[in-house]
Chains A and B, each alone.
Chain A
Amino acid sequence: MSSPRYWREIPQRYRLEAGKCTDCGNIHFPPRLVCSACSGRQFETVKLSDEGTVFTYTIIRVAPSQFVDQAPYAVGIVELDDGVRISAQIADVDLDALEIGQRVRIEFRLIQNEGEAGIICYGYKCVPA
């Protein structure tokens, strides 16, 4: 991940800030410029719920190079309590016990290091509630 992109996405990555369409009320995460439901262009910033349930998940056994040390690990789609679905790693979980419908909550975690000398990228993961 490049530093400029990481920096631009801080509001989403750190604070789960989403865009709520002021015309139709749809919540977009990450925020968009144009509403996919009504083509509206006015949004208010809302903070997503920090709890939800596992909608579906998969176990990553062959990981991209920067996540090799963590494999095997779970990545899931989590439906937050405000109805918005996000994809996130599900950490601190026994992979054999992980289930669809399981309650999880958001935790702030280190996502990746840009090498030994680069910036440290932080963001959200889900953990068992």
Chain B
Amino acid sequence: MVGIVGYGTYIPRHRIKVEAIAKVWGADAPSYERGLLLKEKSVPTPDQDTITMSVEAAKNALRRAQIDPSEIGAVYVGSESHPYAVKPSGTVLAEAIGATPEVHCADFEFACKAGTEGMFVCIGLVQAGLIRYGLGVGADTSQGAPGDALEYSAAAGAAAFIFGDDKVVAEVEETYAYMTDTPDFWRREHQFYPEHGGRFTGEPAYFKHIMGAARGIMAKANATAADFTYVIFHQPNGKFPQRVGKMLGFTKTQIEPGWLSPTLGNTYSGSSPMGLASTLDIAKAGDRILLVSYGSGAGSDAFIFRVTERIDEVRDVAPRTRDQLDNNKVYIDYGTYAKFRGKIRKAT
């Protein structure tokens, strides 16, 4: 049966606290901390981008998969912060892990759900017998405009998943997609920062699509919330995944292992895939996991996984997600953050 053969994540070491951002803009830090359940977020250094984080996450996935990288037949990177406008991030990634030249490669874009799109397509290609293994990556170094609400959450991170039909650590039991044209968030060509349609965020966007996808896949699989050991929803902040989980009848215990956003922020295309990786880090054979991504624009991909016994062999051969999140952190101030993220113009 097709499933995840290896998985890995990467989180940069640097962090900025919500209160350090709020101080600069005269905003009320507690309203973000308590209202949106956001404490701090990851920040990439100037020498880190979607490509470098994808490579590190993919190397961790390869350590767990223990396969020959030349057997990877497809490399898909999903991101809304691809370093090149024209030239796929996957070209560099595939070369760096040694998957070239017999490999199909494309970049995906769909706001925060670009990562699960690559995973979705890999599953299909493996199932069809067109490739032996496929690598799907979700990674972003997203930016919010200075002072914008998104600046408190836009973070950096990557998750990589290798799919195949042998050496499986989590079988794919079901997939489902739910998508409409909803203008809640977009960025036009040549614009540096995205725009968001305030009235569309929330109910008609995040909640409608996540609930549509979750209910759709559960109906398809004839399952209820109680049939899952764990669940991961897209995490634009700390609060939304908790709220949508409650609306769908899930408990905090089911959400907890993959709930990274309070101290990670929103890693966009990396967000729910990183939550899945963090959940696999603690899962046991037989556990059933529901993953529902969300991308503005708008749509959700949903997956049901069942963990196999091979999870015990692979979980500790690469760094766990929660360890990367909690350890070796370096806190920076807003000035350093603005320099790292290219938010200030320097003398030339």
Pair B47/A109 contact, Cβ less than 8 Å: yes
Which residues does chain B contribute within 8 Å of A91, judged by CB atoms?
A: 45, 47
Is A92 on the interface with B (CB-CB < 8 A)? yes
Is A37 on the interface with B (CB-CB < 8 A)? no
Q: A10-B95, A108-B96 are in contact. Are A122 and B52 (CB under 8 A)?
A: yes
Which residues does chain A contribute within 8 Å of B46, judged by CB atoms?
A: 69-70, 110
Q: Which residue of B is nearest A107, CB measured?
A: B56
Pair A109/B52 contact, Cβ less than 8 Å: yes
Which residues does chain B contribute within 8 Å of A92, judged by CB atoms?
A: 13, 45, 330
Is A20 on the interface with B (CB-CB < 8 A)? no
Which residues does chain B contribute within 8 Å of A110, judged by CB atoms?
A: 46-49, 51-52, 83
Report the Cα distance A109→B50, complex, angstroms.
10
Is B192 on the interface with A (CB-CB < 8 A)? no
Report the Cα distance A109→B96, complex, angstroms.
11
Which residues does chain B contribute within 8 Å of A111, judged by CB atoms?
A: 47
Report the Cα distance A122→B56, complex, angstroms.
13
Q: Which residue of A is nearest B49, CB measured?
A: A110
> B27-63, CB under 8 A of A: which get 1 and which 0?
0000000000000000001111101100110010000
> A98-129, CB under 8 A of B: which get 1 and which 0?
00000000011111000000001010010010
Is A15 on the interface with B (CB-CB < 8 A)? yes
The one of B52, B84, B330 that contacts A108, using a Cβ cutoff of 8 Å? B52
Q: A92-B13, A92-B45, A107-B56 are in contact. Are A122 and B51 (CB under 8 A)?
A: yes
Interface contact tally, CB-CB below 8 A: 48
Chain A min CB distance to B48 (Å): 7
Report the Cα distance A96→B328, complex, angstroms.
16
Pair A15/B98 contact, Cβ less than 8 Å: yes
Which residues does chain A contribute within 8 Å of B84, judged by CB atoms?
A: 120
Q: Which residue of B is nearest A122, CB measured?
A: B92
Chain A min CB distance to B226 (Å): 42
Chain A min CB distance to B344 (Å): 11
Chain B min CB distance to A79 (Å): 21
Pair A14/B95 contact, Cβ less than 8 Å: yes
Q: A92-B45, A109-B47, A120-B83 are in contact. Are A15 and B96 (CB under 8 A)?
A: yes
Q: Which residue of B is nearest A92, CB measured?
A: B13
- Which residues 55-101 in A have Cβ within 8 Å of B in the complex? 69-70, 91-92
Chain B min CB distance to A25 (Å): 23
Q: Which residue of A is nearest B53, CB measured?
A: A108
Which residues does chain A contribute within 8 Å of B52, judged by CB atoms?
A: 107-110, 122
Chain B min CB distance to A49 (Å): 13
Q: Which residue of B is nearest A15, CB measured?
A: B98
Report the Cα distance A120→B96, complex, angstroms.
14
Q: A92-B330, A107-B56, A108-B55 are in contact. Are A122 and B48 (CB under 8 A)?
A: no
- Which residues 83-106 in B have Cβ within 8 Å of A in the complex? 83-84, 92, 95-98
Report the Cα distance A23→B122, complex, angstroms.
43
Which residues does chain B contribute within 8 Å of A109, judged by CB atoms?
A: 47-48, 52
Return the 3 tightest CB-CB contacts between A and B, nearest first.
A108-B55, A14-B96, A109-B47
Pull 24 A–B residue pairs with CB atoms less than 8 Å apart, ordered by A: A10-B95, A14-B95, A15-B95, A69-B339, A69-B346, A70-B46, A70-B47, A91-B45, A92-B13, A92-B330, A107-B52, A108-B55, A108-B56, A108-B59, A109-B48, A110-B46, A110-B47, A110-B49, A110-B52, A120-B49, A120-B83, A122-B52, A125-B47, A128-B328
Interface residues of B (CB under 8 A from A): 13, 45-49, 51-52, 55-56, 59, 83-84, 92, 95-98, 328, 330, 339, 346
Q: A108-B51, A110-B47, A110-B48 known; 14 other A-B pairs, CB under 8 Å?
A: A10-B95, A14-B95, A15-B96, A69-B339, A91-B45, A91-B47, A92-B45, A109-B52, A111-B47, A120-B83, A122-B55, A122-B96, A125-B47, A128-B328
